[in-house]
Amino acid sequence: MNPSKTSRLPEPAADERAHSDRLLQHLREQIAARGPMPFSQYMERCLYAPGLGYYSAGKTKFGEAGDFVTAPELGDLFARCIAQLMQPVFAVLGDEADFLELGGGSGAFAEAVLLALIAGGVLPRRYLILEPSADLRERQRERLSAALPADVFARVAWIDRPPEESWRGVLFANEVIDALPTTRFMMRHGEVYEEHIALDGDGRLLRVDRPADALVAGAVRHVERDLGREFDDGYRSEILPQLPYWIQAIAGSLEVGLMLFIDYGYVRREFYLPERQDGTLMAHYRHRAHSDPLYLPGLNDLTASVDFTALAEAGNSAGFGVAAYVPQAQFLIAAGLQQVFEQAYEHAADDVVRYDLAQQVKKLTLPDQMGERFQAMLFARGMPALPVPEALLDADQGERL
Ligand SMILES: C[S@@+](CC[C@H](N)C(=O)[O-])C[C@H]1O[C@@H](n2cnc3c(N)ncnc32)[C@H](O)[C@@H]1O
């Protein structure tokens, strides 16, 4: 741990520290037995180790009492906009169309989008949730069974892996790609190295660089070729060499329909700015961001920004076309935020609710909040005419990718 980076963070309670120590012990044993582990594997353990990882153990995580607030946690305007956008899509796709949500978090999005779809009178045949965390799945189940009418709850199903048979519908993921275990690479004497986590003589975790394997080196060289320049010596950043395989795995069987990803990130040349010499990796602990991924493993969320050019490439190679790439603010406005806000405002019970609605709009759209940091990428396959607002297609910034 680097105290200068983390000394101003809130102290963990004794049980939290004990929890982190258990994960630490598990990591030490793995590293002692097998040698230094790639950073991506370390991140995977920190987030998803059964019963120990950040997403797989019973901590609050989301919302005011947790470590970060996502768009669906702010209130229901975000999900209502997406319901408004998807309503005509489901109408065109017909009765057999499903909605697949990846990484459902607290279940806030599923609840709000399904309630809005009920109000709009067009429901998907099934609402599938692919959620790797058993703990979050349980919380989603509890929340949705309490909030939804029984006949709508009956359409919700949790799946362990992406559908194998061909299907039609909509795949949606908010802030999931940023949570995929990322590879960290660094350049030394023109060669690609991969960051690993090792142990020092006292059993403390430390970061070491080892020559990258062909998959990682090949992915970094591809980025260099696309940028038209080589990375400087000492340059360090993140890359997801497995992204094309992941997209193929989750969406390969989606024959007709849309995929919508919303996340924070940049186009490639902004992601790999020469001055961004240590990548985009961030840790979050009780609403404070810091940059030490070795601090209290298992208690911190670890994330990296998304290279949206890489996402577009991955979607294209899985057979999808990018229909629109837009900052979140413009995306929500094109999806009908104004109308959704006015309806909610009209039906608001009191000034507190009205104030909250106005705050939601600000947080979702202001450039220094989520409005420009977050991007929406909409893909389509097998739908020659897209039943989405012209304003969304007009706002497309795909040429920047
Ligand atoms: C930052 S949270 C976002 C949760 C929710 N979408 C929201 O916006 O509040 C990341 C979510 O992605 C899930 N996740 C991580 N890896 C995943 C994967 N490979 N497939 C599906 N979900 C995944 C996590 O368990 C968690 O629910």
pLDDT in tens, 312-342: 999 999 999 999 999 999 999 999 999 999 9
Threshold 0.75, pTM exceeds: yes
Greater confidence (226 vs 66) lies with: 226
User: Residue for token digits 């975000």?
Assistant: 78
Q: Does residue 113 sit in the same domain as residue 257?
A: yes
- Return d(Cα 384, Cα 155) in angstroms, integer: 28
Same-domain status, 235 and 320: no
Expressed in angstroms and rounded, the spacing between residue 65 Cα and the centre of ligand 1 is 18
Residue nearest to atom 5 of ligand 1 (CA): 105
* Domain count for the chain: 2
Contact 28, 198 (CB under 8 A): no
| Segment 96-116 mean pLDDT | 97
170 Cα distance to chain centroid:
17
The Å distance, Cα 173 to ligand 1 centre, comes to 8
Higher-pLDDT residue of 58, 17: 17
From CA 236, how far away is CA 241, in angstroms rounded? 15
CA of 45 to the centre of ligand 1 (A): 15
Tell me the average pLDDT across 188-199: 97
Q: How many CA within 13 A on the CB side of residue 145?
A: 8
Q: Which ligand 1 atom minimizes the distance to the CA of 55? A: 25
Q: What is the pLDDT of residue 1?
A: 39
Of 168, 185, 202, give the one whose Cα is nearest residue 304.
185
For the record, the structure tokens of 87 come out as 């309503």
Distances (CA, A) of 294 to 20, 42, 165, 297: 11, 9, 41, 6
Residue 235 has pLDDT above 80, yes or no: yes
- 336: phi > 0 → left, psi -120 to 50 → alpha, else beta; which? left
- Tokens for 27, please give them: 């990591």
Q: What pLDDT is stored for residue 67 in this prediction?
A: 66
Q: Tell whether 137 and 89 lie within a shared domain.
A: yes
Q: Are residues 161 and 76 in the same domain?
A: yes
pLDDT digit string, tens, across residues 241-293: 999 999 999 999 999 999 999 999 999 999 999 999 999 999 988 778 898 99
Locus of tokens 């969320």: 301
Could you tell me if residue 60 is inside a domain? no
Say if 138 falls within a structural domain: yes
Closest ligand 1 atom to residue 246 Cα is 19
Is residue 377 a part of any domain in this protein? Answer: yes
Q: Domain range holding 388?
A: 71-175+246-267+311-400
Residues 169 and 296 in one domain: no
**Judgement on whether residues 166 and 124 belong to the same structural domain of the protein:** yes
Residue 4's pLDDT is: 44
Beta-bridged to residue 158, according to DSSP, are 129
Q: Per the domain annotation, does 61 fall within a domain? A: no
Question: What pairing do the DSSP bridges indicate for beta strands 306-307 and 254-266?
Answer: parallel
What is the residue-averaged pLDDT of the chain? 94
* Residue type at position 137: R
Please tell me the distance from the alpha carbon of residue 363 to that of residue 348, in angstroms, as a whole number: 19
Query: How far apart are the C-alpha atoms of 305 and 73, rounded to whole Å?
Result: 20
% the chain with pLDDT above 70: 96
Report the atom number in ligand 1 closest to the C-alpha of 130.
21
Report pLDDT for 287: 73
What does the pLDDT read at residue 9? 75
3-class secondary-structure state, position 205: strand
Is the domain of 141 the same as that of 160? yes
Within this chain, do residues 164 and 189 fall inside the same structural domain, yes or no? Answer: no
Whole-number Å distance, alpha carbon 68 to ligand 1 midpoint, is 13
CA of 303 to the centre of ligand 1 (A): 11
CA of 175 to the centre of ligand 1 (A): 6
Torsion from C-alpha of 140, 146, 148, 151, nearest 10 degrees: 100
Q: Is residue 80 part of a domain?
A: yes
For residues 137 and 187, state if they share a domain: no
pLDDT higher than 90, residue 66 = no
Dist. CA 375–CA 162, nearest whole Å: 24
Minimal-distance CA residue to ligand 1 atom 8: 174
- On whether residue 66 sits in a domain, the answer given is no
Least confident of 2-16, 95-109, 156-170, 367-381: 2-16
Residues with CB under 6 A from ligand 1: 55, 62, 70, 72-73, 102-105, 109, 130-133, 136, 174-176, 179-180
Say if 65 falls within a structural domain.
no
Tell whether 129 and 210 lie within a shared domain: no
Answer yes or no: are the C-beta atoms of 330 and 391 closer than 8 Å: no
Sign of the Cα pseudo-torsion (321, 327, 332, 336, in order): negative
- Rounded distance, CA 231 to CA 221, Å? 9
111 and 209 together in one domain = no
Distance CA 81, CA 72 (A): 11
Query: Ligand 1 pocket: which of 133, 140, 176, 250 to mutate (most atoms <8 Å of CB)?
Result: 176
Among protein residues, the one with the nearest Cα to ligand 1's atom 12 is 103
Q: Is 257 left (phi over 0), alpha (psi -120 to 50) or beta?
A: left
CA of 139 to the centre of ligand 1 (A): 13
CA trace torsion 149, 155, 159, 164 (10° rounding): -170
Claim to verify: residue 383 and residue 355 sit in the same structural domain = yes
CATH code, domain with 94: 3.40.50.12710
For residues 196 and 208, is the Cβ–Cβ distance under 8 A? Answer: yes
Provide the token pair at 191: 């060669």
Mean pLDDT score, 299-320: 97
Short-list 302, 297, 300, 301, CA closest to 18: 297
Q: In angstroms, rounded to a whole number, what is the distance separating the alpha carbons of residues 32 and 35? A: 6
Length of the chain measured in residues: 401
Please report whether residue 55 resides in a domain.
no
